[in-house]
Structure 1
Amino acid sequence: MKDMTIIICSYNYERFIRETIDSALRQEPDRTHVVVIDDGSTDGSRAIIESYGDQLTAVFKENEGQASAYNQGLELVDTEYLIYLDSDDVLYDGAVRQVLDAFERGGYAKVQFTLDVIAQDGTPTGARVPNSQPPADCRKLLESGWLYPSPPASGNAYRVSALKKILPIPLAGGRRIAADFFAIYGIAMVGPIHSIDTPLGGYRVHRSFVVDEDGGAPKISLSIANCQDFNEVIEGFPVRWNALRELVAQRLGETLPAHGNDFSYEKARLCSQVYDAPISRRWRWFAFESGRYFHAVLGNPFWSTGKKLGALALTALCLVPSRRISDYAIRYIANPLARQAHPAH
């Protein structure tokens, strides 16, 4: 029996799916099984997937969302470990070997690894995720309401027996999308996490940060990672945290706090209030609405003192009279790609 299954969850990414599949097939072929689950794509993805023949296992299903693809993939696995690889991301050569070595050195429930952030055309941006590394025992952090630093879906490998204690995901209550959220954080309630602080893959970000609004002058837009709008983070995080609490209670009989702490959520709330805002609005946020944001910075159990001071300094720049300086600081806080965006003149 092979050791690792790479499950590629695919939906309408014909531009990237071949690169993703090729990166998976290059991983330790004697120890790795590749499965592609196409969730009802309407583009040319199916023909590309079928062109690989018996090099992989292909599943074509109706469009039901990421959670459904995660659940079906887990049913198909007969290996000890698995990676859910998004169909626009890539694994670097040797990634699975390093992950298997880590699993074999310890009884981990999950091995996560750093991902390089790449632009839509595959160009490296110079950014990496996550920016901090978690301790092995992330359970205590979740029990106190803190989400631990983790890469997106493609940077996580799971021990299947541990993952089955928290999955499958019930397809109700806000769980159809962002299935990786429940796998990534639910698994920490099951066993220890090991983190490889070396980029073993690429995480593709699709957002275009220079936009032309109504034929006017180009302007730098703002978003968090691949979210269509940073308001999605503000609206989605409380729903997902509550859904995670319910899932943990149902599967494990454990209770998580009513409210979660996550800097990504708090910085999204910050952005929604002060980006491209007059100075009076920015100072009003600081005086009356900034408590949870500063708690996410100062109380952050993963950050060094230097990083906290750096975040505070950037936040202070949001309060200067110059909107240009303020907005630059917000972009730098918000998103690695937005930091590099420059509007045309």
Structure 2
Amino acid sequence: MNHVTVVICNYNYENFLASAIDSALAQDYPATDVMVIDDGSTDGSRAIIEQYGARVRAIFKENGGQVSAYNYAIEILDTEYAIFLDSDDILYPSVVSEVMSRFSTGSWAKVQFRLDVMDGAGAPTGAHVPNTEPPADCGRLLRGGWLYPSPPASGNAYRVSALRRIFPVPEEGINRYGADFYAIYGVVLSGPVATISKSLGSYRVHNAGSGSVSFANSEQLTKAPKAFGMRWAILRNLARARLQIELPPEFHDFSHEKATFCSSVYQAPFASRWRWMLRDSRSYLHAIVANPFWSVKKKLGTLVLSGLCLVPYSPLSDFVVRYISNPLARRRVAGR
């Protein structure tokens, strides 16, 4: 039986950490190891981790950011498979069994699965991510510049040897965070992706209720586009230097483009919304029309919704932006 490590990278999440560790220890797959890397927390995280004793492999390091924690974990992992669980998320008991069953069916570099969305208090919202499944050959599309639909960090199980073809990655400056970007996208340059079409864990969203335009925990809406562009440039350099793969200078991703769309249009004056649509919406519209993962119906629906942002009535425009950007807003409408 192949061993699998659930790696929990933590920084100052004492309120959620025990739930994450408990969910990793509760796996029904006997050969599951649990590693907890604390990245210099200043809250009560260390005491919580130490309570688990030998049941977890505890590592306490100086604060260096999420990228440094991933770099260190991937360097010292002694199993061929790993799940990187965010310390505010949880896994369901069968996830390791199910991903290992899928790994056994082919030479997958990654197996991904859906995550149910819970609010900051841990209550289910009724939403899940992602809402679109990618093809197995995500690497081919990535080489064409398309970022494929993936769950957040906790919804991915990796072949460690594939991760090591990309990691370590630079840790300096703004690149202290976003390690999952390099894992999720870099790994598909080494092999295909398998998708399990059901939820096997829960993803916690902080301060992003149905009335919010944001659906991101780690970065502010206005910072996300800049960070993604920088990470793509770094991934290009890594792919060229380590894999002899040339990625295009620009990438396409609706999640990225909608962040630019929202920061430009949300609560903007009527004239500013029209100006952005006429002058600056080319990349946003391309990410809809040319999207290789979407059906024609979904493309048309998103275009129609986006067009409603041009109406003079600001409350309608702002509602549409929230609906497009935040899955929790969609669940609220569907539940009426």
Q: Which whole-Å CA distance do the structure 1 matches of 2:146 and 2:215 have between them?
A: 19
Residues 67 and 176 in structure 2, CA contact (< 8 A), matched pair in contact too: yes
Assess, with a 3 A threshold, how the Cα gap between structure 1 residues 63 and 161 changes in structure 2: closer, same or farther: same
Match of 2:165 in 1: 165
Quote the Cα distance in structure 1 between the aligned partners of 2:150 and 2:131.
9
Counterpart in 1 of 2:246? 255
SS in 1 for 2:278: helix
Structure 1 counterpart of 2:305: 314
- For the structure 1 residues 138 and 81, does the alpha-carbon distance in structure 2 shift closer, same or farther, using more than 3 Å as the test? same
1:120 aligned to 2:120? yes
CA distance in 1: counterparts of 2:218 and 2:178, whole angstroms = 11
Instruction: Give distance in 2, aligned partners of 1:227 and 1:173.
Output: 15
Shift of 1:341: 8.0
**2:36 partner SS:** strand
| TM-score normalised by structure 1 residue count | 0.92
CA contact (8 A) 1:328 1:339 kept: no
- Is contact 2:117-2:202 (8 Å) kept? yes
TM-score, L = length of structure 2: 0.95
Structure 2: where are the runs of 5+ without partners?
Answer: none
The answer for the alignment partner of 2:52 in structure 1 is 52
Instruction: Tell me which residue corresponds to 2:40.
Output: 40
Kept after mapping to 1: 8 A contact 2:208/2:214: no
CA distance in 2, matches of 1:124, 1:87: 17
Q: Which residue of 1 aligns with 2:217?
A: 226
Q: Post-superposition shift, 1:225? A: 1.9
Give the letter aligned to residue 321 of structure 2.
I
Q: Deviations over 1:140-164 (max 9, x none)?
A: 1111110011111111111112221
Q: Secondary structure at the match of 1:106?
A: coil
The verdict on how the C-alpha distance between 1:286 and 1:170 changes in structure 2, with shifts beyond 3 A counting, is closer
1:104 matched to which residue of 2?
A: 104
Q: Deviations over 1:109-137 (max 9, x none)?
A: 10011111110011111211111111111
Q: Percent identity?
A: 56
Q: Does 1:290 align with 2:287?
A: no
Conserved? CA contact 2:14–2:45, under 8 Å: yes
Give the 3 Å change call, closer, same or farther, for CA 286–178 of structure 1 in structure 2: same
CA deviations over 1:181-239 (Å, ceiling 9, x no partner): 001100010101111111100111112559xxxxxxxxx55324214421011221111
CA-CA distance at 1:338 after TM superposition: 4.9
Shift in CA distance, 208/132, structure 1 to aligned 2, threshold 3 Å: closer
Which residue of structure 2 aligns with residue 215 of structure 1?
none
In 2: Cα distance, 1:249 partner to 1:173 partner:
22
Match of 1:237 in 2: 228
Task: Give the aligned residue type for 1:259.
Answer: E
Does the residue aligned with 1:318 lie in a helix, a strand or coil? helix
CA contact (8 A) 1:209 1:341 kept: no
Distance 1:312 1:195 in 2: 27
Q: Root-mean-square deviation (CA), in Å?
A: 1.7
Unmatched 5+ stretches in structure 1: 211-219
Read off the aligned partner of 1:300 and give its amino acid letter. Answer: N
Q: Which amino acid aligns with 2:102?
A: A
Write out aligned runs for 1:199-214 (5 A).
199-209=199-209
Letter in 2 for 1:334: S
For residues 133 and 9 of structure 2, the distance between their equivalents in structure 1, rounded to whole angstroms, comes to 26
Deviation (angstroms), 1:289: 1.5
